[in-house]
A and B are shown apart, each in its own frame.
Chain A
Amino acid sequence: MMNENFPLIFERSQEGRMGYSLPELDVPEVEIELEEPYVRKNDADLPEVSELQIMRHYTALSTRNHGVDSGFYPLGSCTMKYNPKINEDVARMTGLSHIHPLQDPDSVQGALELMYDLQTSLEAITGMNTVTLQPAAGAHGEWTGLMMIRAFHETNGDYHRTKVIVPDSAHGTNPASATVAGFEAVTVKSNEQGLVDLDDLRRVVDENTAALMLTNPNTLGLFEEHILEMAEIVHGAGGKLYYDGANLNAILGYARPGDMGFDVVHLNLHKTFTGPHGGGGPGSGPVGVTSELAPYLPKPLLKKQHDRFVFEHDRPQSIGRVKPYFGNFGINVRAYTYIRTMGPEGLRQVSEYAVLNANYMMRELQKDFDLPFTQHCKHEFVLSGKRQKKLGVRTLDIAKRLLDFGYHPPTIYFPINVEEAMMVEPTETEAKETLDEFIAVMRQISKEVKENPEVVQEAPHTTIVSRLDETTAARKPVLTYKKE
């Protein structure tokens, strides 16, 4: 019988095969002076495969994967927009990819100019005083920002400010980052409109508040209209306002976190600014702050002195370094290329169409699915599969059914304050036809739920594997390949 398992690269291995080409050793060989215990005796059991075998293996794996270029990817909160190809070309230019971070800064002025111009562009886009490109990703930026807030409070002798307030709809990274930064996460409730409940905010804010972390628009895709009152409440109690930039794609050129009263902002360049998600990373998470918090920025900080770009290391109040070298430069290059492609008018149109697309889909899908919050949304919206659940079909089933139609499903069961949540973010780069096709499929699934629920419950039917046993995977973890 044919083995249906798709082989691992290790299972393609045959002793004696090779896929590399190293130069001949052109120096006289000497005896290595290493003491016996330090000389490896058991070889690392890496695969032995030819170059074509490797290429076929990974090409086959790539066809077992869905990316933005494969099809619509309305994964809420992730901003799965088109990843421009020119960005990839630019990031691979020799002068940008083959440079060493510890070279003399005078020998990499082009790289520094690029970084500096990206910093100032991000400052202009967010309305913040100073931006650092050092953090590697969104969550890393969150923690960086919170460490700065902590340093600020401690400078003022406010060691008692140990609480970081996060909405119940917040990304999981928010409370997790608060903990890692040594704070205690406190939850503030949302009201019936899906916005932060101002009364509850007043209740939880006190003299121990270090900061409020907020995405705006929030994870329900709704703009926190009372942001100025919220800023007043938090600032009034001596706390700081932290902006999670995950949803910045909704407001480019329409509003700036700095003008809303935020003190710290992180951005996800792999979301709003088209850094590809890469199957989970690498990302980039620059952080911008007000002038008040600028002294605490990670070091070194890139500065412009006359016509030269230099790293400032002497920053006594800095929280220190958060990452080796200067951040994920390769991703920053892609983001910069994108910003230079779009310019001010283009970026504003990005948000205009991101919001138009989301509202259009929301109004169409509202006809078949529950919509817990009915006001205009921003770049994404959250549906509830409550109605379908009553008919025995869960949101998970709907998501799996979408796979049969070649779609990546929306984010499901998040935010956690919406029952059977489906979070849809179409992005601005999708054509109306794509949106219409998806809407039609969702309508069909809604019909199937009523008429033929099994087809949804048992989905997917067309994928290379069916539903996988996640319980056993977690109970008896097999995390590596072992030769039989």
Chain B
Amino acid sequence: MAFRYLPMTAEDKESMLEAIGVKSTDELFQDIPEAIRYKGDLQIKPALSEPVLVREMSRLANKNINTQEHTSFLGAGVYDHYIPSIVNHVISRSEFYTAYTPYQPEISQGELQAIFEFQTMITELTGMEVSNSSMYDGGTALAEAVTLSAGQTKKKKVIVSKAIHPHSREVIQTYAKGPNLEVIEIDTKDGITDIEALEQELDENTASVVLSYPNFYGQVEPLAKVQKLLENYKAMFIVSSNPLSLGYLTPPGEFGADIVVGDTQVFGIPGQFGGPHCGYFATTSKLMRKVPGRLVGQTKDEEGRRGFVLTLQAREQHIRRDKATSNICSNQALNALATSVALSALGKQGLKDMAYQNMQKARYAYTQFKEAGIEVKYEGAFFNEIVVVFQKSIKTINQKLQEKGYIGGFDLESIDPSLSGCMLIAITEMRTKEEIDGFVRELRDIHDE
């Protein structure tokens, strides 16, 4: 059977074998000991022709309820946002997506410049001085920030708010086992981090304090208060931030954050069942040489023309091996590109408009829920997510919503039993007034049943 990705003809094969000086390709595999040579066919499904394959993949795709045909109010870290059409056109250019890491700068200026522009955009959003070329996702970027803080301060205790995304908290716990860090989790109070409890934990042995802004419940954490608390300590201030919110909120850099991380999925990247998304990692000039992952820097060529290269590579695994600042090798270059395109399209004004629309629509939903007699749990300042309370299980409610064409919010009971009946709802610029009204109506009916 012939395969369209394999170009060798029988004649090619024969002449190549002759050039090598062997009779068959099997001879080239004689170095695999007989005892472990695999006999027979791999136990996987047989090959499919392209049309049959498309049918099979469509079958799998069509079994999923998707966020385009259903109206989604599910957020909790992954959001349904406007993706300008040009994003997909740019990232579909195969000069970008079939390239590898730009190790040969002379033929990789396109990728390198795109990353340099991404780095600039991230520093603009976060109010930080330095950004890397991207990380796997917001959760692992946060975990890398935590381990960096421990290495930098030579301290083992990290204080992490429980109002951080639950998956990120779990990832931090896993990463912390490597260097044996002590992770202290701080409870929430009225939907934000209990600052008094945080203060009590803060001491000379603290490597860092970690907050999310806005936090997992959509609430805006009082970063100014935490900044003040940290004045008397050497502990680093790490903030995980939804970068879209920074179109309206004061960036963490202005509150003295040492490291700001998050995920740029909100800019040009579809949810795609949780990945790949795109982590960002921004920090101060002081920590520039400790940053995990790749950095692109500006320089000149021999004729004095501006050009870009991977730089400060002495931090990285392929040079420093076991002494590297991180083991990270790949980044999310293609998704960083998607984000750059989306941010170029939005521009200065569009970013503000989009963030503002999210805030207005979320406030509209907030008011409508209250008018419908449904409790909204937290009363603090928020971005685009709210928590509403029911006397029924959210799982059951979501099943009913699905039948009506909605994807309901996140069931908070799944991460905290004390939040049973609490649903975290995201309202983005994609949701129309009509959709919000319809959703509130459905929930009111369920609530009043």
Contacts and interface: CB of A to CB of B under 8 A. Distances in A.
Interface stretch (A24-32, A203-211, A235-243, A442-450): A24-32
B69 A94 contact: yes
Given A22-B353, A80-B98, A104-B402, 15 more contacts: A41-B250, A62-B96, A99-B65, A100-B273, A184-B322, A277-B98, A280-B133, A282-B275, A323-B275, A340-B47, A341-B50, A467-B302, A477-B288, A478-B299, A480-B119
Interface string B96-130: 11111111111111110111110111011101011
Interface in A333-349: 337, 339-349
Contact of A355 (B25, B108, B137, B312): B25
A89 B259 CA distance: 37
A173 interface: yes
Contacts of A255: 32, 36-38
A278 B102 CA distance: 10
B95 A70 contact: yes
Contacts of B134: 281
What are the 4 tightest A-B residue pairs by CB atom distance, in nearest-first order? A325-B274, A110-B63, A343-B47, A95-B61
Contacts of B136: 136-137, 140, 281-282, 323, 328
Interface in A297-317: 298
A39 B249 contact: yes
A68 B5 CA distance: 13
Given A70-B95, A278-B334, A432-B16, A61 B113 contact: yes
Nearest to A256: B38
A117 B27 CA distance: 33
A432 B20 CA distance: 14
A95 B274 contact: no
A345 B47 contact: yes
Contacts of B170: 320-321
Contacts of B385: none
A23 B29 CA distance: 61
Contacts of B356: 25
B6 A102 contact: no
A465 B108 contact: no
B286 interface: no
Given A19-B84, A46-B121, A65-B109, A108 B273 contact: yes
A43 interface: yes
B114 to A, nearest CB: 6
Contacts of B363: 27, 30, 32
Contact of B3 (A29, A99, A330, A346): A346
Contacts of B61: 90, 93-96, 110
A340 B44 CA distance: 9
B106 A400 contact: yes
A51 B345 contact: yes
Contacts of B66: 94-95, 98-99
Contacts of A28: 364
A276 B102 contact: no
A324 to B, nearest CB: 4
A389 interface: no
Interface residues of A, number: 203
Nearest to A26: B433
B400 to A, nearest CB: 12
B314 interface: yes
A54 interface: yes
A420 interface: no
B375 to A, nearest CB: 18
Interface string B330-361: 11111101001101111111111110110111
Contact of B20 (A75, A281, A284, A359): A359
B167 A321 contact: yes
Contacts of A29: 360
Given A46-B343, A47-B344, A278 B64 contact: no
Given A278-B97, A282-B275, A343-B48, A10 B171 contact: no
Contacts of A280: 100-102, 111, 133, 294, 330-334
A96 B364 CA distance: 31
A251 B57 contact: no
A463 B321 CA distance: 32
Interface string A236-259: 000000000000000111111001
B398 A104 contact: yes
A324 B138 contact: yes
Given A86-B50, A173-B327, A363 B8 contact: no
18 contacts: A32-B363, A46-B351, A51-B86, A63-B95, A65-B109, A67-B98, A81-B5, A171-B318, A255-B32, A278-B333, A284-B276, A323-B139, A341-B47, A353-B6, A356-B13, A468-B309, A479-B116, A479-B297
A429 B96 contact: no
A104 B57 contact: no
B251 interface: yes
Contact of A276 (B302, B334, B399): B334
A399 B349 CA distance: 45
Contacts of A88: 92, 97
A252 B90 CA distance: 34
A342 B45 CA distance: 9
A97 to B, nearest CB: 5
B94 A360 contact: no
B344 A49 contact: yes
B200 interface: no
Contacts of A171: 318
Contacts of A298: 174
Given A54-B345, A180-B326, A280-B331, A124 B297 contact: no
Contacts of B346: 19-20, 46
Nearest to A27: B364
A40 B45 contact: no
Contacts of B8: 353, 356-357, 428, 431-432
Given A319-B174, A329-B272, A473 B78 contact: no
B108 A65 contact: yes
Contacts of B332: 278, 280-282
